[in-house]
Amino acid sequence: MSTDEPGPPSRGAGFVRFRLDLAYDGTDFSGWAIQPERRTVAGELTAALRALVGGPERVLALTVAGRTDAGVHARGQVAHLDLVHGIEAPTVRSLNGLLPPDIRVRNIAPAAAGFDARFAALARVYAYRVTDRVPDPLRRRDTLLWPRRLDDTLLQAASARLLGLHDFAAFCRAREGATTIRTLQELSWQRDSDGVLVATIQADAFCHSMVRSLVGALLAVGEGRWPVERPASLLGAVRRSDAVAVVPAHGLTLVEVRYPPADELAARTRITRAIRVREPGPDT
């Protein structure tokens, strides 16, 4: 079975496509993508699918919306699974019965015509959790501890300046042939009832390490080390900025992938394919 290959855009002659909704605790995974000798989310999922459905001659593709990096979590990950026509799809219960407890399948259902988990997506939404107070030990797996006080107002002000269509190359790990132009649709901060700062970050898509680089630049503002204008001043740069620290993976969770209505899925897939070239590797 190939994973993350673009694959046919809809129900084809010989296969049926299913949509999978997934959640995982990324702590003990080397990210989504299969790697030799590493424990990965796609690797565990593929092993469970093979046990239930069969080998690569029956499972044609497993493609994910957000190829999360090592240590990154997901609550609202979406993938599609192409099975040879006539093969029965596994149930949520059968998959979860075989999967380790740090991955849960939330739903599996036949995909709407034209659905492609990666290319039909309108937007990805991530959350980044950081605390500048004494941390809750029960949330230490998904919350970054920041050793200095963070100013909510400075974080908001610096974030607002980053919104919109920009070249985010300063915040991206270089990848040959991949565009770094993205539309940042939301970047806002809220303190939850425990005082944890939660950033909500939404874009059409993210280049590699973009969320963690944006948060790193913003925390420099929040602690008063950088002026509020500095993150936005890096927009449009042609390459990655050495000044931007990439914050650790464990504070980051993919919370949602947004898709258009069913009748616009196929058109959206065509548009996305035309804009973005193929980008291997993780995109968080």
**Footprint on this chain of its own copies (rule: CB under 8 A):** 23-25, 73, 75, 92, 96, 101-107, 134-138, 140-142, 253
Rounded to a whole number of angstroms, the minimum distance from the CB of residue 65 to its own copies is 18
Contact predicate 144/206, CB 8 Å: no
Rounded to a whole number of angstroms, the minimum distance from the CB of residue 217 to its own copies is 26
Q: Which residue number, 23 or 98, has a Cβ lying nearer to its own copies? A: 23
Q: Which residue number, 104 or 175, has a Cβ lying nearer to its own copies? A: 104
In 3-state terms the chain splits into helix, strand, coil percentages (rounded to 5) of: 25, 25, 50
Q: Which residue number, 13 or 134, has a Cβ lying nearer to its own copies? A: 134
* Residue 242 one-letter amino acid: D
Q: Which residue number, 44 or 204, has a Cβ lying nearer to its own copies? A: 44
H runs (alpha helix) in 192-234: 210-222, 230-233
At residue 42, the 3 state secondary structure works out as helix
Contact predicate 109/95, CB 8 Å: no
Q: Which residue number, 24 or 206, has a Cβ lying nearer to its own copies? A: 24
Rounded to a whole number of angstroms, the minimum distance from the CB of residue 126 to its own copies is 14
Contact predicate 70/281, CB 8 Å: no
* Residue 113 one-letter amino acid: A
What is the rounded distance in angstroms from the CA atom of residue 195 to the CA atom of residue 216?
A: 19
Rg of the chain (C-alpha set): 19
At residue 51, the 3 state secondary structure works out as helix
- Check residue 28 and report its DSSP letter: G
What residues contact residue 138 under an 8 Å CB cut-off, 6+ apart? Answer: none
Question: Does residue 69 carry a catalytic annotation?
Answer: yes
Q: Which of 69, 82, 116, 132 is catalytic?
A: 69
Rounded to a whole number of angstroms, the minimum distance from the CB of residue 140 to its own copies is 6
Rounded to a whole number of angstroms, the minimum distance from the CB of residue 159 to its own copies is 23
Q: Which residue number, 92 or 181, has a Cβ lying nearer to its own copies? A: 92
- Maximum separation of any 2 CA atoms in the chain, in Å: 60
What residues contact residue 225 under an 8 Å CB cut-off, 6+ apart? Answer: none
Rounded to a whole number of angstroms, the minimum distance from the CB of residue 12 to its own copies is 29
Tokens of 5: 């290959």
What is the rounded distance in angstroms from the CA atom of residue 198 to the CA atom of residue 33?
A: 26
Active-site annotation, residues = 69
